[in-house]
Structure 1
């Protein structure tokens, strides 16, 4: 199984963002300085991670970069769905 550095990076980006989002909701480690940024970071960083995964997939055709692409796309859609649900449910 070939692993490329770009494939690993494209997989690490959504994993780190997911950990930040889980920490934001559960408050396991209090990080008061970044407040709501874990919900905004995926909108900025996931397209970059998906592009890195796409480049890696074109070069190496490995599953790790394909997994990175899929996770980045899913995590990119999470804040959008979260905000739409918040508007529909709470009207804020």
Structure 2
């Protein structure tokens, strides 16, 4: 019984890291658009999903492959969607407002 709880805790840790990466990137992107907190990283929040979302999706995939739980599946799907957000944002912004 004790080993099972240890495995579940490890599973939730991997899934949690995947979701933390997702929320951190979302907060940075929302701050980029709203300017609520003045940061000197300019356009970096729109580039960061290209580097960190694959890591989050990979962690979610590893967790899902071992344990088949819902948080890891949410981490996979949301990280993949967030990966494509900057691309879609740039396409829509250029289409509507030009260069």
What TM-score does the superposition give when structure 1 sets the normalisation length?
Answer: 0.92
Higher helix share: 2
* Pairing 1:89–2:96 present: yes
Cα distance between partner residues in 2 of 1:27 and 1:4 = 33
RMSD of the TM alignment (CA)?
A: 1.0
Bigger RCO (CA 8 Å, 6+ sep)? 1
5+ unaligned residues in a row in structure 2: which ranges? 1-7
5+ unaligned residues in a row in structure 1: which ranges? none
Give the length in aligned residue pairs: 90
Q: What's the CA shift for 1:4?
A: 2.1
Q: Within 5 A, what are the aligned runs for 1:61-80?
A: 61-80=68-87
Structure 2 equivalent of residue 18 of structure 1? 26
